[in-house]
């Protein structure tokens, strides 16, 4: 109960979350007013707002309040940002929202050239995204780098958190919602990427769990008001990384598989309609 009652008095993350939420709602309302026959889907809005809520909870809620005290709280924060907040934000499809909410001139002069640029093509490459998110997660948990982030609060709060969230958004964007102007990734490649991404995450969690000694010295010197000792805390963090990354990874794998089946059904219906139109001509 003491853990759940901890919240971090950090105004900047709250300001960023509120600003992003207000921008999204205003832009979605503009799109709906502009084209009432094709309104912005509420499901996208709820996904984006849910992603912001998860990010806020991870950064200023109990995981953020105790991330410099308990390893498992810090690991929970990383998992929430990477495997839940980021894909929910992506499902809100802010890229498409920007395109639809912008004027025709801004789309032509700014957004379309940007989406067709070489930088965006690299960022939306499935292999690059996989290497980025796995690399950030792996490098950030190298003991001396991990401890360095914790001993420098500014780096921890603004650099590390941003790296986790941004790298995960880059990874999930072409896999869950390939929006207008971004690279099309075949469904099979999406499934392979989502499946194989779980492997290094689980291996990292198992490695942290299996280490018989304290691998992260920082946690040996913190004042623990309650909870497990440093080594038990490390083992719990490894279990969380191992199990939660696998569980959430399966969720997004199933999501991608479901949309693959939907696309195949739509393709089949289109082919049937074309065949139905051509059949009478063929008999004639």
Residue 281, pLDDT score: 52
pLDDT digits (tens, 9 = 90+) for 158-207: 899 999 999 999 999 999 986 655 668 889 999 999 999 999 999 999 99
Q: Would you place residue 238 in the very low, low, confident or very high pLDDT band (cuts 50, 70, 90)?
A: very high
Whole-angstrom Cα distance, residue 75 to residue 164? 12
Q: Would you place residue 264 in the very low, low, confident or very high pLDDT band (cuts 50, 70, 90)?
A: confident
70-88: average pLDDT: 95
234-252: average pLDDT: 94
Nearest to 193 by CA among 174, 221, 177, 208: 174
218-242: average pLDDT: 91
Task: Output the CA angle 120-258-47, nearest 5 degrees.
Answer: 60
249-257: average pLDDT: 94
Nearest to 77 by CA among 128, 26, 151, 3: 3
Whole-angstrom Cα distance, residue 274 to residue 266? 12
Q: Judge whether residue 284 has pLDDT over 50.
A: no
Whole-angstrom Cα distance, residue 166 to residue 139? 15
Residue 224, pLDDT score: 85
90-109: average pLDDT: 92
Q: What percent of the chain has pLDDT over 90?
A: 65
DSSP string spanning 141-184?
Answer: TSHHHHHHHHHSHHIIIIIIHHHHHHHHHHHHHHHH---TTSPP
Distance from chain centroid for Cα 92: 11
121-135: average pLDDT: 93
225-252: average pLDDT: 92
53-58: average pLDDT: 95
Q: Note whether 8 and 64 are within 8 A (CB).
A: yes
Q: What percent of the chain has pLDDT over 70?
A: 93
7-11: average pLDDT: 75
Give me the phi and psi of 253, to 5 degrees please. -65, -45
Measured over the CA atoms of residue 13, residue 14, residue 17 and residue 23, the dihedral's sign is: negative
Q: Note whether 149 and 140 are within 8 A (CB).
A: yes
Whole-angstrom Cα distance, residue 150 to residue 167? 20
**Distant-in-sequence, close-in-space partners of 228: CB < 8 Å, separation ≥ 6:** 70, 72, 236
Q: Kindly report the length of the chain.
A: 284
**Distant-in-sequence, close-in-space partners of 14: CB < 8 Å, separation ≥ 6:** 56, 60
Higher pLDDT, 276 or 172: 172
| Mean model confidence pLDDT for the chain | 89
Residue 146, pLDDT score: 93
DSSP string spanning 193-252?
Answer: HHHHHHHHHHHHHHHHHH-SS-S-GGGGSS--SSS--HHHHHHHHHHHHHHHHHHHHHHH
Q: Would you place residue 5 in the very low, low, confident or very high pLDDT band (cuts 50, 70, 90)?
A: low
Record the pTM: 0.91
């Amino acid at each position: 109960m003491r853990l759940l009652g901890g919240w971090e008095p950090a105004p900047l993350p709250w300001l960023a979350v509120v600003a992003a939420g207000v921008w999204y709602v205003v832009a979605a309302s503009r799109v709906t007013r502009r084209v009432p026959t094709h309104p912005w889907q509420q499901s996208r809005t709820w996904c984006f707002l849910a992603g912001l809520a998860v990010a806020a909870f991870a950064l200023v809620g109990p995981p953020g309040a105790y991330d410099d005290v308990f390893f498992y709280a810090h690991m929970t924060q990383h998992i929430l940002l990477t495997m839940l907040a980021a894909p929910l934000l992506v499902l809100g499809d802010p890229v498409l929202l920007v395109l639809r909410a912008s004027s025709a001139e801004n789309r032509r002069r700014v957004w379309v050239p940007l989406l067709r640029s070489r930088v965006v093509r690299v960022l939306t490459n499935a292999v690059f995204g996989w290497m980025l998110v796995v690399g950030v997660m792996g490098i950030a948990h190298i003991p001396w780098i991990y401890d360095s982030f914790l001993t420098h609060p500014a780096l921890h709060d603004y650099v590390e958190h941003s790296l986790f969230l941004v790298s995960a958004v880059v990874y999930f964007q072409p896999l869950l919602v390939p929006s207008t102007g971004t690279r099309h990734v075949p469904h099979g490649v999406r499934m392979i990427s989502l499946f194989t991404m779980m492997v290094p995450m689980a291996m990292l969690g198992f490695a942290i769990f299996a280490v018989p000694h304290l691998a992260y010295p920082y946690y040996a010197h913190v004042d623990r008001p309650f909870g497990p000792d440093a080594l038990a805390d490390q083992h719990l963090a490894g279990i969380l990384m191992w199990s939660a990354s696998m569980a959430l990874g399966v969720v997004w794998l199933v999501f991608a598989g479901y949309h693959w089946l939907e696309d195949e059904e739509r393709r089949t219906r289109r082919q049937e309609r074309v065949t139905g139109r051509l059949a009478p001509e063929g008999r004639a």
